Amino acid sequence: MENIKLSIDKAFGFVSEQNVAAYKSQVNEANKALHNGTGKGSDFLGWLHLPSSINEAHLSDIENTAKILRDNCDVVVVIGIGGSYLGAKAVIDALSNSFDWLQTERNSPVVVYAGQNIGEDYLYELQEMLKNKKFGIICISKSGTTTEPALAFRLLKTQLEAQQGRAAAKKLIVAITDKSRGALRTLATQEGYKTFIIEDNIGGRYSVLTPVGLLPIAVAGLDIRQLVAGAIKMETVCGPETAFEENPAAQYAAVRNELYKNGKGIEILVNFHPKLHFIGEWWKQLYGESEGKENKGIFPAAVDFTTDLHSMGQWIQEGERSIFETVISVKASNYTKIFPHDESNLDGLNFLAGKRVDEVNKMAELGTMIAHIDGGVPNLKVELPSLNEYYLGQLLYFFEKACGISGYVLGVNPFDQPGVEAYKKNMFALLEKPGFEAETKAIKARI
């Protein structure tokens, strides 16, 4: 099997190869600090050796639980927010049929999401859709106290119990949470739900290879063993024993820090495959929450091309020159579609006849890269040989490892997220949550 491949040479017109190479010792030290547990946030390094530490019994437990949901449900609702749903959705979307939800002959339940927003219309429509359907719930919350998923869970649990009866509903609910703390753990223990533990030392955005990601992915009928195998491969490739020049995580961390130092404060993750949209969302959380602190950090953005070339393309080509791109490129499509010849050629497209649609897409990719470089946008590329579980497992671990290294090079703790508490405090104060009386008084005086 091949590996995913990082190319950084198209950044060298903007930053020098020599300056990127100069990060070698700093990046190697950062990588070692992760492995020795001597850097910031070292009590959150459980993800580092996670792939290779997953054992057969754990995988079987996840697969067996997935089978119960697969055998008994037409729809499975994954409840969670941030790191508690983005990884699962990224992988499921990337590897499922784009029109999966429309298929009537199905082998797997439809996976839908809740608790990732507080949209009343969204929840109303979800509950209407679930009426009289055989559905199950995977409720994911590490803290077990996050408002959005807790709110969705109360609504959906009540509905499931009403539709199935309390005893049957219990068998269709799985809770993934802390081993002892939090309201979700208390509820799960009391109700006797099947549970999986999120270890203390794994933060939400690094949890895709725990049951947080693996259970929903297995429910969707995807091969979690291959996903883990790909991550194991990258665990070695990105390890501290691999030379800086050969180590994609080290190279990516170095080049993006050098670009940042040279005024490129925005990184745009680009895909040319609509199925990869949520890989971009997962990546934005990983890098945004890990690096955006202490008034620094690259702002992570994401676009879907060629779609967004007809919207954001203008800004990227000619707007403020503070951006660089990282393109996720998929070498080989999974299917073949040949563009047909047309006798009348009224659309003028016969020059494409006989070509694969993917060839057109690849020329769009190449043409865009050259145009953007000409327009002052440095270009990095991560190439996947094809879209499958194995290469996605590689991609996820590569980005996690590079993020840890990059955060250390930047000088921040890549494993905390103190900033996300600010809105919660205000929301609770405005909703007059017991215990927030002083904050309620203070905030009401401001509005």
Among the candidate windows 35-43, 138-146, 330-338, 435-443, which touches ligand PA5 by CB under 6 A? 138-146
The single residue among 39, 46, 51, 82 that binds ligand PA5, judged by CB under 6 A, is 82
The single residue among 149, 288, 297, 407 that binds ligand PA5, judged by CB under 6 A, is 149
The single residue among 141, 247, 257, 368 that binds ligand PA5, judged by CB under 6 A, is 141
Residues ≥6 apart with Cβ < 8 Å to 273: 94, 328, 330, 387
288 binds ligand PA5 (CB under 6 A): no
Cβ closer to ligand PA5: 10 or 142? 142
The footprint of ligand PA5 on this chain (CB under 6 A) covers a number of residues equal to 14
Q: What angle do CA 291, 315, 312 make, to 5 degrees?
A: 85
| Minimum separation from the CB atom of position 143 to ligand PA5 (A) | 3
| Contact criterion met (CB below 8 Å) for 153 and 113 | no
Q: Is 301 helix (H, G, I), strand (E, B) or coil?
A: strand
| Minimum separation from the CB atom of position 206 to ligand PA5 (A) | 8
289 binds ligand PA5 (CB under 6 A): yes
Task: Give the C-alpha separation, 82 to 289, whole Å.
Answer: 10
Taking each helix axis from N to C end, the angle separating 211-219 and 56-72, rounded to the nearest 10 degrees, works out to 40
Cβ closer to ligand PA5: 289 or 304? 289
Among the candidate windows 63-71, 139-147, 241-249, 323-331, which touches ligand PA5 by CB under 6 A? 139-147
Among the candidate windows 1-9, 76-84, 258-266, 314-322, which touches ligand PA5 by CB under 6 A? 76-84
Task: Give the C-alpha separation, 285 to 420, whole Å.
Answer: 12
104 DSSP assignment: S
**Residues annotated as part of the active site:** 289, 310, 424
Q: Residue 421's Cα: distance from chain center in Å?
A: 21
Site string for ligand PA5, 234-273 (x = CB under 6 A): ----------------------------------------
Task: Give the C-alpha separation, 207 to 211, whole Å.
Answer: 8
204 binds ligand PA5 (CB under 6 A): yes
Q: Is 138 helix (H, G, I), strand (E, B) or coil?
A: strand
Q: Residue 374's Cα: distance from chain center in Å?
A: 30
Look up residue 391 and give its amino acid: Y
The single residue among 28, 31, 84, 247 that binds ligand PA5, judged by CB under 6 A, is 84
293 binds ligand PA5 (CB under 6 A): no
Look up residue 385 and give its amino acid: P
Among the candidate windows 34-42, 135-143, 316-324, 385-393, which touches ligand PA5 by CB under 6 A? 135-143
DSSP strand E in 273-378: where?
Answer: 299-304, 323-332
Among 86, 128, 135, 80, residue whose Cα is nearest residue 110: 135
Cβ closer to ligand PA5: 308 or 416? 416
> Which tokens belong to 9?
């040479």
Site string for ligand PA5, 391-410 (x = CB under 6 A): --------------------
Residues near ligand PA5, by CB under 6 A: 81-84, 141-143, 146, 149, 203-205, 289, 417
